[in-house]
Amino acid sequence: MSGRTDRDGTTPLYVAAVHGDAATVRLLLAAGARPDTESRGAGSEGTPLCAAACWGHTEAVRELLAHGADPDLREDHGTGRTPLEWADTGPHPETAGVLVAAGAGPRTVE
């Protein structure tokens, strides 16, 4: 159930991450949602970690990383930005710091 999408292809984990709802992120991950599964909904495509990093939702980023999210995984099936690139673009230095501490890098957007 936790890995299902809505009609548009949006995953619940992506929605929770983009809104910074760390408690729901934790709940979905505990229920078996995979942290690196891309959402494919119109206007809600990408990885949960990129979504959380883009908006500087540091606690959601921490939850995703604690559950095995790849800090270097590019969205758009490997052709898009990394979570760190999104955090740096924000700019969200605290979120970027959490990603770097988790092994993300190198930085390409300053």
Residue 67 to residue 10: CA distance in whole angstroms:
20
Q: What is the pLDDT of residues 18-70, one digit of tens each?
A: 999 999 999 999 999 999 999 987 777 899 999 999 999 999 999 999 999 99
Angle at 13 between CA 95 and CA 108, to 5 degrees: 35
Q: Where are the domains of the chain?
A: 12-101
| pLDDT tens profile 90-100 | 999 999 999 99
The dihedral through the CA atoms of 23, 27, 32, 37 has a sign that is: negative
User: Is domain 12-101 classified as CATH 3.40.50.300?
Assistant: no
**Position 4 pLDDT exceeds 70:** no
